[in-house]
Chains A and B, each alone.
Chain A
Amino acid sequence: MSNGQRSVLVVGSGPTAAMAALALARSLPAIRVTRLDEGGQESSAEGFGAGRPSIRAFLAGLGVDEAEIVTRTRANYRLGTRITGLSATPYFRGHGMYGEGVSGVPFHHLWLRAQRCGTVAPFDSFSISARLASHSRFAAPSAQRESPLSALDYGLQLNLPVYGQALRSLGRAAGVEELHGNIAAIIKCPDGGSLHSVKLTDGRELTADLYVDASGCMGRIRRTLPWRWIDWSTALPVDRLLYLLQPADRAPPPNDELFALSDGWRYESRTQDVTVHLLGYASAHQSDEQARAIFRNETGAEPQGESVVLRQGRLEEPWFGNCVAIGSAAISLEPSAATNLHAVCRHLGRLIGCWSGHNTRETTVEIAYFNRRTALESNRLRDFVQLPYLLNQRPEPFWRAAAATPASPELSRDMALFRERGRLAIHDEDSFERDEWLASFLGLGVIPRRIDPPAVELPLSRIEECLSQISAGMRRLMEIPR
């Protein structure tokens, strides 16, 4: 163990860098944290502020008061995403649980059995998150097991620039040193496998034990070392984004919206003050001009700036030597499944676990662990984002082509297993709740050919009773005036 104070240099100007600096400073108080801010905007591929429940866990883990962040940054609660136009009926991909099973039978098999025997309310209607969202309401989860609200979970819709500011000020209070300057050169160690220092244009030279690249998809410093990007463009066709941040025109609903269009999708999310409009499309199917026309048509407004180029994929080894890429420097995914902030939270949690020893230089064992687990997680995120493309029911060439692209062996097997038996295989580092996978499969219209055998043994009356009890509980809840 070394007695010298360990130091870390975080490079980046956006929320990812602010999160990284704050998390390192709060979690590892003995280390010296410096954040280098080169100014300018973080690439918008960073994400548009949609956070899964992991963002709340992240804040709570750092002792940051969620209510205060929501009030101060005028954020919004986020129960999930309503998805329209991919299958016959819109569906909701919500956080939290979708009903409870009985006698060892998972809930969705109760639902499937009832569905097979006659009409049953949509799967969504058994999700408290979906119910609340459909009434544009929000409530905090309950600790009372009998309350439908005990199944609730939620994320946050953040206004990223304001959120970034709030975290930067918390970071300063936690001892983060902030430097503003521009990088003139990144100096490698003679072995070529690690960084020696970062030279600024004003002549300053910064050194650290660990360099955290939180600079966005350009990978400002991590790129200096051996760097291989694994391209996912075959699986995920969208490679262009148009966006607009508008002042809010109404009270925000507690969910975001995804609309499938003939050559891509439109996405809308709201904080208290700002509405985010996004258009995702594939340059192979649509020109930028066509996309701008569609954007205007859909939103009634002009997009901000030019189209953003999206290179979906992941970095093979996010951590190399003494430099680790996090957030969109390590993984780039379209924002349709709110995976961007989530990846930042996961990367930071893992990084702190792996860099929590007393040596200045991290061991290859920890680095290998970080890269191995991050790869598993990233691939699973990709699979989740790809699922709606593979299972969509739209006729247009863009969508037919997307449905015909190959899936990973794991996802192919998952789809086959669900189609046949309604069963979900278990995967390591899966970021999504089982109910989110179920909501996706069922929402996209996949009805398994067979039902869980134990569910077949349950008397239908018992199942009906169980389903109507859940519905009644939710109805009673909705009758309470807001």
Chain B
Amino acid sequence: MSLPTHRNGDDTPRLRVVVVGGGTAGWMTAAALAHVLPTQCSVVLVESEAIGIVGVGEATLPHIRAFNERLGLDESQFMAATCATYKLGIEFVDWARIGDRYLHPFGSSGRGAGGVGFHHFWNRARLLGLSAGQFGDYAISVAMSRQGRFAPPAKPGGDLAGAYNYAYQFDANLFAGYLRRIAEPKGVKRIEGRIVGASRDATSGDITDVRLEDGRSIPGDFFIDCSGFRSLLVGETLGEPFEDWSQWLPCDRAVAMPCRTEGVLSPFTSSIAMDAGWRWRIPLQHRTGNGYVYASAFVEEQKAMDSLATAVEGERLADPRVLRFEAGRRRRSWVHNCAAVGLSSGFLEPLESTSIYLIQVAITALIELLPEKAVAEIDRDEFNAVIAVEYDRIRDFLILHYHATQRRDTPFWSYVGTMAIPDSLAAKIALFRDRGRVEPYARGLFLEPSWLAVYFGQHILPGDYDSRADGMPLDRLDTALRRMRAEVDQAVERMPTHADYIASHCAMAGAHP
């Protein structure tokens, strides 16, 4: 083999990529492209300090670790820089009924046998009246969360003690800044300026450049729209239609208000049901993020602010800020020579912390499908297919949380508890109610353990179980269940508290352990 003089053995010049917007999506995209494809694209990022960033998605999913790893980020350093905490799952409070509390953990519950999932054994025990406890009692991450403890999982083996994963809760503003400090030395050129429009090629309709308020124009071959809700290029310039999902996900506002962290530092995000929506609680090292996601059709803005102010536990650190949005997605995320990443491609409320995950999926697909100067239809189609499946499957999972409520105490909960749901979700629920089966899929987020956690956590209980679970005599089943619960408890006892673990591994600057 002889060494080529040029990449690809040809003289293709680098693709000029223009990233529009510098929030979480913009800086994640710019940093990833510059790091992973340094010889194939040049990256310019245009952002305006005058425009604030939304900075939603302070809570992430375990996939973020793969992203950080690919960028070569050091975990402790990254966590210290973004005042991050560890996250083992999401706690749901008062969702199906007032007084309910369950965790959707990043991990599985229990151990099945003979090719039959654990939940069939648990459901059998429950139906036969054994004291089987909660489904979550068999998940290590649930026990860790309840006790406020954290340690990273050992190498995955057969034991329950290793059957979990983790993510981070961090300050998205700090994360964007952290990525900027990484991206700029890798060649990302940042341009400060407010974008007022884009020019398009008269023949192809492709975008040729974006124009700034001060008269400058930034040319590019390929544009990535990270402009947030505004969807400056894909929505405004290219006019891609928006598929509206508000009939199923009626929340369209959020009021955010950080407060001081008090009490135990939880290794999880909370989602607490409110009269007309739900409230997030995300504990970080330097503050706790709070927000009330609500449906404006069911509650006034002032009332929502008041409810949030009453609910938050610690001293307020900022005035409340209101965000407006609409659930749904652009029909296509990539149109002409422009791909939307982040909120410009669609919005799903942060109930399951999916915002940053969706950014990541788009970035990964863009890296693998980096176009040539003339975009091939097949690249676009594949990208759009990947993104659409992710959005649609997350959508169904989110709707499940609302649909599976028994609450009728406010007009909001009555509405979501009785609204029509998509056929795709109705089929999944019917299959689960029948015998506890979760329809598998090869692509997309949220696999069986996630669906099980929410179904069981919200009292969707199958009327039957897999009869292969009958093979185990009842007394042995009872012993096996006890043993698993004990295994979980013992494993957790040895772990440090979340706060101690952070103090010794990744404390933010100025923290006093």
Interface residues, chain A, with chain B CB atoms under 8 Å away: 1, 27-30, 61, 104, 114, 116-120, 352-353, 356-359, 363, 365-366, 368-369, 413, 416-417, 420-421, 423, 425-430, 450-454, 456-457, 460-461, 464
Contacts and interface: CB of A to CB of B under 8 A. Distances in A.
Contact of B431 (A114, A365, A426, A427): A365
28 contacts: A27-B468, A30-B467, A117-B1, A117-B4, A118-B1, A353-B437, A356-B466, A357-B435, A357-B466, A358-B464, A365-B430, A368-B427, A369-B439, A420-B376, A421-B378, A423-B368, A423-B369, A425-B385, A426-B443, A430-B442, A453-B36, A453-B40, A453-B367, A454-B37, A456-B40, A457-B37, A457-B40, A464-B1
Contacts of A464: 1
Contacts of B372: 450
Given A357-B467, A369-B431, A120 B36 contact: no
Nearest to B381: A413
Given A116-B9, A428-B441, A453-B368, A460 B3 contact: yes
Contacts of B468: 27-28, 352, 356
Contacts of A428: 440-443
Contacts of B467: 28, 30, 356-358
B2 to A, nearest CB: 6
B300 interface: no
Contacts of A413: 378, 381
Nearest to B36: A454
A162 to B, nearest CB: 27
A363 B471 CA distance: 23
B239 interface: no
B41 to A, nearest CB: 9
Query: Taking each of B36, B370, B381, B434, which has the highest tally of chain A beta carbons within 10 Å of its own beta carbon?
Result: B434
B2 A423 contact: no
Nearest to B376: A420
B370 A416 contact: no
A423 B382 contact: yes
Interface in B416-442: 427, 430-431, 434-435, 437, 439-442
Nearest to A103: B70
Contacts of A358: 464, 467
Residue among B381, B439, B468 with the most chain A CB within 10 A? Answer: B468
B203 interface: no
Interface residues of B, number: 43
A457 B36 contact: yes
Contacts of A27: 468
Contact of B367 (A28, A369, A454): A454
Contact of A120 (B1, B2, B39): B1
A91 to B, nearest CB: 22
Interface string B320-343: 000000000000000000000000
A119 B37 CA distance: 25
Contacts of A453: 36-37, 40, 367-368, 370
Contacts of A457: 7, 36-40
A456 B9 CA distance: 10
A417 B378 contact: yes
Contacts of A416: 378
Given A28-B468, A116-B9, A365-B430, A460 B4 contact: yes
B8 interface: yes
A371 to B, nearest CB: 13
Given A352-B468, A356-B435, A460-B4, 19 more contacts: A27-B468, A104-B70, A116-B9, A117-B1, A119-B1, A356-B467, A357-B434, A358-B464, A365-B431, A421-B379, A426-B442, A428-B440, A453-B40, A453-B367, A454-B36, A454-B367, A456-B8, A457-B37, A460-B1
Interface string B379-396: 101100100000000000
Q: Considering residues B39, B434, B435, B467, which has the most beta carbons from chain A within 10 angstroms of its beta carbon?
A: B467
A365 B470 CA distance: 22
Contacts of A450: 372
B52 interface: no
Nearest to B66: A104
B115 interface: yes
Nearest to A109: B368
Contact of B2 (A117, A363, A452): A117
A15 B386 CA distance: 41
